[in-house]
Amino acid sequence: MTLLYSDLPPSLPSFAAIQANLFRDEVDAVSSLLPAARLSEQAEKAVHVRALSLAQGVRQAASKNHFEAFLQSYGLGSEEGLALMALAEALLRIPDTDCQDRLIRDLLENKDWRRSQAATWLVSAASRALLFTDGWIEASEGRHWFDRLLRKLGEPVLRTAMKTGMKLMAEHFVVGETIEQALDNADPRWRYSYDMLGEAALTEDDARGYFAAYHEAIAALGKRADAHTGFARQSISVKLSAIHPRYEFAKQNRVMRELYPRLLELAQAAAKADLVFSIDAEESERLEISLALYEKLVREPSLKDWRGMGLVVQAYQKRAPFVIDWLADLARDTGRVLPIRLVKGAYWDSEIKRAQQGGLPGYPVYTRKGHTDVAYMACARKMLDYGPGVFYPQFASHNAQTLAWIMELTRDSDRQFEIQRLHGMGEALHTLIHQREGVASRVYAPVGRFHALLPYLVRRLLENGANSSFVHQLADTRVPLEAIADNPAERIARNPITTGVIAPSEVFAPRRNSQGFAMTDTLALAPLRQQLAALENQRFHASPIVGGQRRTGTAQPRVSPIDSRREIGSLVASDASAVELALNLADAAQDAWAETAANQRAAMLEKAADLLEARQAEFLWLLSREAGKTLPDALGELREAVDFCRYYAHEARRLMGSAIALPGVTGEANELRLTGRGPFIAIAPWNFPLAIFLGQITAALAAGNTVIAKPSRRTPLIGMRAIEALLDAGIPADVLHYLPGESGGLSDKLLGDARVAGVAFTGSTGAAWKINRTLAARDSSIASLIAETGGLNAMIADSSAHVEQLILDVLMSAFNSAGQRCSALRILLVQDDIADAVIERVGKAMQELRLGDPLQLETDIGPTIDTLSQRDLQAYCDKLAQSAKLIGKTPLPQGLENGCFFAPQAFEVSLDALPTVETFGPVLHIARFKSDGLEDAVHRVNKLGFGLTMGVHTRLDSTVALVRRLAKVGNLYINRNQIGAVVGSQPFGGEGLSGTGFKAGGPHYLLRFAAERTVTVNTAAVGGNVKLMAGGEGEHA
């Protein structure tokens, strides 16, 4: 079986350039595009005059539009602007009035609404339905207006007013809630492209609902008379993530098998109705799979006579020029003219964030708006240069300068093209161009229920209203029109080209970020696939390493949790003599290691980090085959291990590089320094056999302690290679020792030895109690115990939570790594008002998860660690099913019987029946709470005694404030998943039954491994304070 992924169907040779330029150097890319984005000096002057005239006309028109006047008063980066956007995003979809009222109060009180244009827009929106006058918000009331208004109107009236205002805002951007409404509301001046927009499908039911809506829209459009012909006809745009719940590169086999027939059916319906059909562009990680689908559709024999098959290209992607070249080759190869919509792109912030989080080699998009503008113009020129027999260009833009440039470029040409805009945006600009230039304009028209479309609207508004965008600058009268009309290519050409965001590798500077790769980067995946395939036939061996020597003995076979018939290596367990020798050597080496300069110790750890990255394929294979990790989980763990090495190296230099001078009386010098405590025992778990294992070891080493490392008996092969990397990096052989094998007497002998100065432990609470008692029973120095134990981790969602985001985060938090994370979600507490919808969709979304071979990218969940764990989980769920309701269970495919696979399960329980002990696997408990029961819900979680992680999903600041105040947890995550703490950013560790602190990966962690020593010197001992007498510490009168 092919590892990782199956290759996409072969394409045209030019497809290789798309793959090769995912992370193209931005400076080189912009430099190469600049010539195409510049015209002659005379033409540039004409562009400037035209752009200036358009901008003047648009600015005049904006003053007559309440909403655009609001943008003029407030940038959407302002407190008030963001408050209204947050209100629009959430208010209409919140089902209960209590939460609606709290949202309104949270967002609107203590804001300054004295700027008249904002007040005009806000009041006019509500007063249109309630017949209020504009006088109910007085400028003189300032930030106290909300309380006055509430007393005057009461919450029910105010709530109705705000909901009416939000509906009017939605009407500004949604052409209709149904396709019939949209068609009735269409302005005959414009062409339209309708899109049944909403969030991406999470379940098969979601996908079928959107699929039906697209079918209905196509049928409705086909029934309406359309005087236009050719590419001027009515258009339908399709978002592929809406019609399949797993539209992902990793699921390409399933996508081709399931999504493509749906796409083909819609295209055939559009062809029959004589419509133009466009496939929307989405995140960059979906580009290659979208092009594969599009090529298959273009080559479809049943559609050979149809000329309406379109695609959207995002100019902010560095691959855009190469996509256009490939599309041109496809058009010529099939004899088609392709309608191509060129847009700038709508996912910029998430693209930047994902690249940084993933430690990617670069960004798939440009990091400066000006660079995107240049790319857009260069791509537009490329499309036009290919000629009318290749493309029908559709230029989507709200930028007067960009469109003026295109008008000038096409001034002496009879080339057919159109411009496009989003419904509710850019109407004045497009009206002027249509009137002056005679160019056709098409409106991209979202259709759908307001409450479902509002998140989409907010994203578009924030994108177009950002302070750097043309829309905001045009609305802001403080920005000179001359600046708006300037060609960005000319500005960029006058100065050195630089990026606008630091590279992903530098986000934690001065510490280097760990290297990752995109799970859609076929150029990176191809060599990795070959390396992993070669490792499939290799066997690894683990044995004690003491004093740098690998000890021999009887080797026992190691099998994989994926398949118990598969032997992946062998283990020689440690014996009593190895333990004694390791203790002797570690104790003897302690003083010399503690006296080794912190900078020198740090350099060794940094070299170890480099070696881990150089041995990436080997560690990924071991993490998969020995620990059952999927490739994304394995890569995440490897990167965390690398980050630990570099972070603790940095911390060693910061904390231990030099002594701290302390204040004191004259004639005296005081300093405090940190040093190692003595030999440490590092006892690691099997669920993070590389990251936690190395995290504990490297912290102890960085602080100047010798280390005896004890891996889990279940994952000794991974531990062996990790220790070898540290030794290869220069850690002295007598400083670091490796003792794999069964715990039992081995741990007792280590822990009972008086020479052991401390223990770093991650594992169960029960095991931590035993270690603590063993250490306390010694009649010797009091050892330091640093324990990170388990958790009954909860997530709380009130009725303002964004349900789709919540469900994605629940699935990831509860079931990633087969639920075998300390931080994994065990209890989901949902406000009763949204519980039915959440519970139903969680159960259905679980059906879309796939168990299987972890080295297949299409696998979401691998095995549990062993058969004992598998049996315990099954027994627990069998018992739980007697009193709780099973609401979801992931299918367990055939062929996994010889592995330790366990299908994720979710149960609904009552608040009085929450679990009291941790079940370490993919089992989720869901309970409801009343709208007034949030505080009680937090208290119930606290009473369980654990305190590791908690998640909160809400749009209410008051909910966040309450949970932050009450929750007794080490890590609180708000509106995101609750796993995957990042070293240095999210120090990890709990309280109560979940650990002792300090937090791993945090600025205080090394202190638990260090001893403090103070030195005081009487500098006047020889007969006086020379500095004082010389006037260095004051003047003697």
- Peptide bond preceding 510: is omega within 30 degrees of 0, i.e. cis? yes
Q: Which amino acid, one-letter code, is at 538?
A: Q
- 89, 288, 788, 908: the catalytic one is 788
DSSP string, 195-227: E---SPP-SHHHHHHHHHHHHHHHHHHHHS---
C-alpha triplet 470, 365, 38: angle, nearest 5°: 55
Across-strand partners of 343?
A: 314
Residue ranges of the alpha helices (H) in 438-557? 450-465, 470-475, 481-485, 488-493, 522-535
A 10 A CB-CB count for 17 gives: 14
- Three-state DSSP class for residue 464: helix
H or E stretch at 492: helix 488-493
The verdict on whether 285 is a catalytic residue reads no
Q: Could you tell me how many residues make up the chain? A: 1037
The values of phi and psi at residue 973, to 5°, are -115, 130
CA–CA gap between residue 912 and residue 94 (Å, rounded): 26
Residue among 644, 525, 621 at smallest CA distance from 569 = 621
The values of phi and psi at residue 477, to 5°, are -65, -15
- Three-state DSSP class for residue 1009: helix
C-alpha triplet 566, 572, 574: angle, nearest 5°: 140
Residue among 945, 918, 938 at smallest CA distance from 825 = 918
Tokens coding 932: 């007034």
Q: How far is CA 244 from CA 200, 260, 297, 543, in A?
A: 8, 10, 17, 49
CA–CA gap between residue 960 and residue 102 (Å, rounded): 12
- Three-state DSSP class for residue 555: strand
Non-local CB neighbours of 836 within 8 Å, separated by 6+ positions: none
A 10 A CB-CB count for 742 gives: 10
Q: How far is CA 524 from CA 284, 516, 518, 519, in A?
A: 16, 10, 8, 9
The answer to whether 1028 and 1034 have CB atoms below 8 angstroms apart is yes
The answer to whether 239 and 281 have CB atoms below 8 angstroms apart is no
- 822, 848, 900, 918: the catalytic one is 822
CA–CA gap between residue 290 and residue 905 (Å, rounded): 32
Indicate the DSSP class of residue 256.
I
CA–CA gap between residue 1006 and residue 696 (Å, rounded): 10
CA–CA gap between residue 356 and residue 502 (Å, rounded): 9
Non-local CB neighbours of 270 within 8 Å, separated by 6+ positions: 218, 236, 276, 277, 308
H or E stretch at 912: none
Residue among 66, 106, 72 at smallest CA distance from 89 = 106
CA–CA gap between residue 567 and residue 541 (Å, rounded): 11
Quickly count helices (H) and strands (E) in the chain: 38, 28
A 10 A CB-CB count for 4 gives: 18
H or E stretch at 81: helix 79-90
Tokens coding 514: 């760990």
The answer to whether 842 and 811 have CB atoms below 8 angstroms apart is yes
Tokens 């691998």 sit at which residue?
A: 862
The verdict on whether 788 is a catalytic residue reads yes
A 10 A CB-CB count for 776 gives: 10
- Peptide bond preceding 998: is omega within 30 degrees of 0, i.e. cis? yes
The answer to whether 969 and 948 have CB atoms below 8 angstroms apart is yes
Known catalytic residues? 788, 822
